[in-house]
Amino acid sequence: MDAATSSGVQVKRFDAETVRSTFGSLQMVYANPESDLPTWETFHDFASRRRVNGWRDVAEFVGASECILLTEKDGPDAYYVRNGEDLLKLLEECPGFEFYVTNQMLDYLLCHNHHDYLIGCGVSKEWVESKGDDF
């Protein structure tokens, strides 16, 4: 929320039940819902690329569409974000952290993790595969 305030981006924070439900649905589709590991460590049918600035790529993928920004470091949390431009403004104000982005229909799940890996599931998988690795 501090990043939203400092960047001037309006976000809508999801209530706790909606956060749990959204994470649960994403894990059912893209990961192992039974695991206590971070969600990205249990993905199945995904593509990944090492991309130091992969967090910027996520905003590019979102483009003009709405998205949901999710985090799980200090417990699950989720925010509605208007578009990729706003998402980028938010992320520019944050220290590096693991995050997930999806849409309301959960057509995709993108993650950028603390190892600088961009990971894509669903319709974002092929897009991530098209990206090069940073070494």
Domain borders along the chain are 2-125
SS in 3 state form for 46-74? EEEEECCCHHHHHHHHHCCCCEEEEECEC
Q: Which two tokens stand for residue 22?
A: 């959204």
Per-residue pLDDT averaged across 17-24, rounded? 95
Instruction: Output the pLDDT for position 5.
Output: 64
Q: For 65-113, how does the pLDDT look when each residue is reduced to its tens digit (9 = 90+)?
A: 999 999 998 889 999 999 999 999 999 988 778 999 999 999 999 999 9
Average pLDDT, whole number, for the chain?
A: 92
Its pTM stands at 0.93
Instruction: Output the pLDDT for position 9.
Output: 79
Instruction: Output the pLDDT for position 93.
Output: 85
The rounded Cα 4 to chain-centroid distance in angstroms is 16
- Return the H-helix or E-strand segment holding 119: strand 117-122
- Return the H-helix or E-strand segment holding 12: strand 11-13
